Structure 1
């Protein structure tokens, strides 16, 4: 198998999870509005499964919330999108090098890969060589009998470990953020969330 694992950067616009999934599934980095609709429709259609206990907020409120382009996606959204596309989604966390696999209980035949830096999702792809155009990317991989994707799995993990060594992640407990609206500085995700709740401001930039 020829090629290298590459990280395809997705814009930081609060919709990175959806656009990263759009890229690995459909080679399209602009699918967030469509995929938010898919998630809202899925959740609304099954209020028993997607209860307040599961979602952390009432079903109807969650559906309105996820359609807001300022809101971030996470594990719930990834599990719904894995089911929607009928493919496993592997999400690698750079800080811990852990890989969370969504949709694995469905034994899907294919898998895609994302990489997460504590705040932001990018897409992982196999490229024939360094600097090759994105249209040559392979983003969908066949799941083997042993439920791995063969040698690519090892290459992806090596890539994630290399990103960890380079500290290409955000320590969300201790990172410093500045509010893009009022320029106030906050430390860590907890303070950022508190500031957002108090002011309604949702535009933060990391600074060191």
Structure 2
């Protein structure tokens, strides 16, 4: 049974392995699982070259296996599908840009689900926290799927968070500045200062942080 509380975004480092480490956190409460999970994916793909063929992967099977083991390469839909099967749980990936939820593993009748959030470039983990600013050790990240294929209260909270992030992103993109090259902003999440629209956009894309305040 899910605890009462609030759904929060647990930030994963922006190191090209955010998808794998986000999955590691929601599945195992471990933000450093990328090397192992890359190995899982490579082994799965190598074991079934008929299913994971060049058309499916976009490159020859053997080339893909080498590619995905490179820590500089990003993951996406193929990798989330494989990891869903590996853990035997659905993975819900919420897209901030569209508020769409892509659900991996839903055809397999799994009884549990985890949630990620995605901004077009970066994945973070979603968790149900018992109260504001609670330590991560209290996070609930695995949710029982009900007979109606929802996860109840936590699903609504997650969607509200995604919609709020979407609104902030739109506001950030639409806001006009008199001097877009030289105005100074501070990130409201990590307090890092940036100069100009270009740096602000790069920071938002790298971290998912879209709450900026202008300062002199």
1:164-194 CA distances to partner (integer Å, 9 max, x unpaired)? Answer: 11118999xxxxxxxxxxxxxxx9xxxxxxx
Count of residue pairs brought into register by the alignment? 176
1:36 pairs with 2:38: yes
For residues 15-94 of structure 1, the aligned pairs below 5 Å read 15-94=17-96
- Aligned-residue RMSD, C-alpha: 1.9
From 106, 109, 134, give the equivalent of 1:107: 109
Determine if contact 1:127/1:138 at 8 Å carries over to the other structure. Answer: yes
Taking structure 1 as the reference length, the TM-score comes to: 0.81
**Shift, 1:152, TM fit:** 1.3
1:80-135 CA distances to partner (integer Å, 9 max, x unpaired)? Answer: 00000000000000010000000000010000000001100000000001100000
1:206 pairs with 2:202: yes
Q: Give the match's secondary structure for 1:42.
A: helix
Unaligned runs of 5+ in 1: 172-186, 188-204
For residues 131-146 of structure 1, the aligned pairs below 5 Å read 131-146=133-148
Partner of 2:168: 166
Partner of 1:4: 6
2:73 & 2:22 partners in 1: Cα distance?
15
Runs of 4+ in 1 over 3 A off after TM superposition: 168-171
2:142 & 2:106 partners in 1: Cα distance?
15
Q: Give the match's secondary structure for 1:48.
A: coil
2:160 & 2:68 partners in 1: Cα distance?
33
1:126 & 1:207 partners in 2: Cα distance?
26
Range 18-27 or range 143-152, more displaced: 143-152
Partner of 2:132: 130
1:88 & 1:169 partners in 2: Cα distance?
32
1:126 & 1:63 partners in 2: Cα distance?
34
Taking structure 2 as the reference length, the TM-score comes to: 0.78
Work out which of the two has the higher radius of gyration on C-alpha atoms and give 1 or 2: 2
Q: Give the match's secondary structure for 1:164.
A: helix
Q: Give the match's secondary structure for 2:12.
A: coil
Q: Give the match's secondary structure for 1:206.
A: helix
Determine if contact 1:37/1:67 at 8 Å carries over to the other structure. Answer: yes
